[in-house]
Amino acid sequence: MSKRIASRARQTKETQISVSVDLDGTGEYDISTGIGFLDHMLEQLSRHSLIDLTVKASGDLHIDFHHTTEDTGIVLGEAICEALGDFKGLTRYGSATIPMDETCTRVSLDVSQRPYLIWKVNFSKPKLGDMDTELFKEWFQAFAQAAGITLHVENLYGENNHHIIESCFKALARALRQAIEIDPRKADAIPSTKGVLGS
């Protein structure tokens, strides 16, 4: 099997971002976005998906965190999509239900090349540290769109906002790990009766 690695970059007047991924890694990461909480979430994503991940981002944080958060989701999604190559052998579907103390979150996804986000997550506060909680939906939306993933995220219950969003990223990681695994029984086939994804 060829190596499933990719690097992508994006440069605009608002952000400069580079991302490298190895889908068959061990969860090693080197992440710096200038947003401490986002770094923490991407570290969780790497560690629990076993995707080796390097992210370097700089952006107009003097305005707010929106552009850097959204564009990081875009570039990471693009890198994962590229690393998946021809999609042959993918398990394709993944799901995970992750508890974190009083919180429980469920993620289900389909590496379908039909991007869609269902987001059933609510926060009781507008910010976590310096980060607007509304930006987490923007990250997940950007990631799902760029990666070509149908992604359903549902916080079943919880009180602590940190636990709620961290459980979302951990559940995404575990579901993604399952979905991108190669099925040895169908390693040479596209995982669709159509013979192609995205149609």
> CA-CA distance, 44 to 176, in Å (whole number)?
13
pTM given for the model: 0.95
Residue-wise pLDDT tens digits, 104-156: 999 999 999 999 999 999 999 999 989 999 999 999 999 999 999 999 999 99
Residue-wise pLDDT tens digits, 61-120: 999 999 999 999 999 999 999 999 999 989 999 999 999 999 999 999 999 999 999 999
Give me the domains of the chain, ranges plus CATH numbers. 5-186 (3.30.230.40)
CA distances, 197 to each of 29, 108, 158 (Å): 29, 18, 35
**Three-state DSSP class for residue 179:** helix
- Return the bridge partners of 30, or none: 54
